Every structure is written in structure tokens, then in C-alpha cells.
Amino acid sequence: MPVLHVIDPLLINQGGHYLSQHLALWNLCQSKGYGMRSYTHVDFDSSLLPADVPVEKIFGNSDIPEMPGHYCVELGVSNVKCFEALMRIDHTRFTAQDIVFLTSMTASRVVAYGQWLRHCNLDTRVGIYATVSAELEDTQARNIRRSGVGLSDASFDALENVVVTNDVKRSMYRYLFDSIPDAKASNYKVFYEEPFPNRGFLDLCQNSDVSFIYLHSMYQRMPKFARQDEKNETTIKTTTPPKTKANTTINIAYLGSGGVGHNNKGQHLVADIVNAINRRHQGLSYSIQLGAANGDTGPGSWQTTLFERLEKIQNLVIHSGMLTCNEYCDLIESASIVLLPYGPRYRHIMSGIFDDCLFLGKVCVIPSQSKMALWMERHNLDCPTFKMWDAYGVSAALDQAILHYDFYKTQFSAAQNICHQRWERTNPISVFDNA
């Protein structure tokens, strides 16, 4: 039996969306007659994966160092440690029919992966799952420079510790792609998770035999799709959406993230949004997940205040801390509308939660200037969006989603069919087996 070898240094106690990707790969393996083996962090709880998935814990805390100083220095140490961990893998067990799937392809690991590929000279099939925009568009740095912040400013100094310039990133990815042996290039596929990738990323690979594939959401559960006979990826957009029936009960879900999530995922807006919507509508319910509320240092003052405000709302359920994979899936599957009040960072990156919602056909409220909205527009689909990142703007968009829910549901059902068809074509096993 061929085996899908999933190598992921960051698989460590992540719940929800992240773990669901691994379970989706397991479900895929079962449907395609493959086995699966995972290579994870030493602290990963193996019970989170099915018992039939062997787990090798090879990456340690030293492979993800937290060092003071410039991020480029830390990158060097991180890549060295990652390479040392990769060398613990017995690559001689890989057969020509196996697939090695390299994930968490960030700057902290990309050189290590390249060095490992050069050392092993694998005869098997290799999939590289790369994060495109987050690695090659240092938009945060560019925006800060344009704002006129001085070099001595504390925020700019802090930024220099976490942002690598584009030329450094490009050189690292070029090293990775140059590590692919010319004679075996057809055995390599590069999967990228961001739609509309940076052309500069694709052009880094000079070998035309290496294929690049947009890999959409990897979601563990396979829902029943509304229109299995859909043959194309374009739909006709209705110009006048009908209003939702008055007695419809709508459950609205919001998923936050870790302790820093309020900076870019709109946690600080949630209470005001819910209160504004409750003044306009009845028969609603809310499921709110707020990450890292009970961390080692306890909740921050902003989060304590937010919890106190949300606890006063009767038609609302709060999920505190990280969600398990099943809890995550249950929350979004039970939702009618998923609220994604994300900030400017998401102009340039895709949301994994949005990807999963598309896969499930869930109506999403999203920023108008974002890759999420661009994805819907490119497929000629409408969605409720907001332009201003504040409680007024987001609640106005959510209000439209509630009023015209039936219409938006048809739009996201069409998106669901598109995602299902694309997954059947672009999942790693189908791509290699049909090559």
C-alpha cells in the first residue's frame, strides 16, 4: 500500500482548523487506498489522530527557537535545527509509490527542507505545501514605512524582529526550488494555499517540469453538496437579493484566535456588533470562540472586559480557549452565518476558516478589501462585506446577511460546489496519481 508521509514541525496542540487539515488528509488516504504516517513535534498528542496513523515525534522545542535579536539570525538557527530533526527520518523507507508531503513551509524551515531534499535525493513523489503571500509580501513592513514611522521608533524596531525582507525570502525559496533535481523534477509538485499567488513566487522556480497547484481547503468532514451535477466554476449572480423569511432562526458564529487575535481578527468589536444586531433582530443565537482566554499568564485586561460584556448577553454561548478539531467542526457546521470581522492584514492573505466555510457552503461576513472577497468576485458570486473595520461597518454587513440570508445561502452553496470539484482535482493524491 502506498503511504502519504506528512511532515509537519508545527503539529503541536493546535486545535480546530489546523488539525482538521491533517484529518482531511487521513480521510483522503482512506478513500484512495493509501496509508498515512505523520512526523510531528515531540509534544504533539498522538491520540488526536486516528490510531491507524503512525506518528513519529522528531521536532523539538529547540527546532522553533525564541531568541532575542534580529529575526534573520533566528531564521538561521531555526533552519539548522529543523534540518537536524529532518535527518532523524528514515527516508530509505520511502518507496517510489509513496508521497512525501512537506508542510509548514515558512521561512523558519524552507532552507532546511531544501538542504534535506539535496541530502536525500529522493526517488519518491514529493509535495511541497507552501504559504505564498505570508512569506513573500512583507506588506506590514511596507505599510509602516509609508506611515512615516522612524527607524528609532519602538514599534518599528519590534517589526524588524519578525519581518524578513522580500529579497531574503526569495533567495530562501529559490534555494528550495533549486534543490529539486532536474532529472526528477516531474516527481515534484508545489501546492500553494493562497489564491492569486504572487507572480514573483512562481517565477522563482526555473524548472518547467515542476507543477504548481492551488490547493483549496482541506476539511476533514465530507458534507453532502447541494448540486453534484455542477459542471463548471461560474455562476450567474442575482442582482436583487430576496429577504429572508421572518421566522428563520439564525445562528451566528465567530471564531477568534490566540491572545493576539484581537489585533487582526476583530475580537475587540464582537460585543458591540452583537449588541447592535440584537437591537435590530430577534430569534438569533451566537456561538463565540475566544482563544487563549485562560493561558499561562491569564487573560489580558482587554479580554477580561470583553468576557464581562459578552456574559451579559443571554442568547450567546462563549467557547473559551482553543477548540478541539471536533468542537471546531461542530461550531462552524451548526452555524448559519460565520462572522469574520478581520482587519487590514487579510487584504493580502486568505483565511483558513473562510476556506472551510466555503467547503461547507456557510454564509460569511468578510472585509470587502480582502482575498476572500476577491475569491467570491472572481467566481461571480455575491457576499455580505464591510468596508470600514469598526463595529458600525461590520454590524451593517451582518444585518444585510441576516435580511437576505436565503439569497446569500444560494451564493455560498454555489461556492461549495466549486470547492468540492476543485478538491477532487487538486488534492495531493489525485494530483500525483493522475499525473
CB 41 within 8 A of CB 12: yes
**Residues 264-279: tens digit of each pLDDT:** 788 888 999 999 999 9
Confidence of residue 141 (pLDDT cuts 50, 70, 90): very low
pLDDT of 243 reads 45
Number of H-type helices and E-type strands within the chain: 16, 13
Burial class (CB in 10 A: 0-12, 13-18, 19+), 312: exposed
Q: At what angle do helices 16-32 and 325-334 cross, to 10 degrees?
A: 90
Q: How far apart are CA 54 and CA 250, in angstroms?
A: 41
pLDDT at 162: 41
Per-residue pLDDT at 358 exceeds 60: yes
- Supply the pLDDT for residue 277: 94
Same topology, domains 3-215 and 250-420? Answer is: yes
DSSP state of 61: G
Res 167 pLDDT > 80: no
Q: 250-420: what fold?
A: Rossmann fold (3.40.50)
Give me the mean pLDDT over the 240-247 stretch: 41
Is the domain spanning 3-215 CATH 3.30.420? The answer is no
Residue 291 — very low, low, confident or very high, per pLDDT cuts 50/70/90?
low
pLDDT in tens, 364-376: 999 998 889 999 9
Least confident residue range of 16-20, 86-90, 119-123, 293-297: 293-297
Whether pLDDT at 304 is above 90:
no
Nearest to 18 by CA among 288, 335, 255: 255
Helix residue spans in 291-342 (DSSP H): 301-310, 325-334
Query: What's the pLDDT score for residue 152?
Result: 38
pLDDT at 224 over 80: no
Residue 213 phi, psi dihedral angles, 5° rounding = -135, 130
Residue 138 has pLDDT above 50, yes or no: no
pLDDT at residue 135, as a whole number: 44
pLDDT-derived band at 160 (thresholds 50, 70, 90) equals very low
Whether the per-residue pLDDT at 202 is higher than 50: the answer is yes
* Start-to-end CA span in the chain (Å): 19
Domain spans, the chain:
3-215, 250-420
Between 101 and 223, the more confident residue is 101
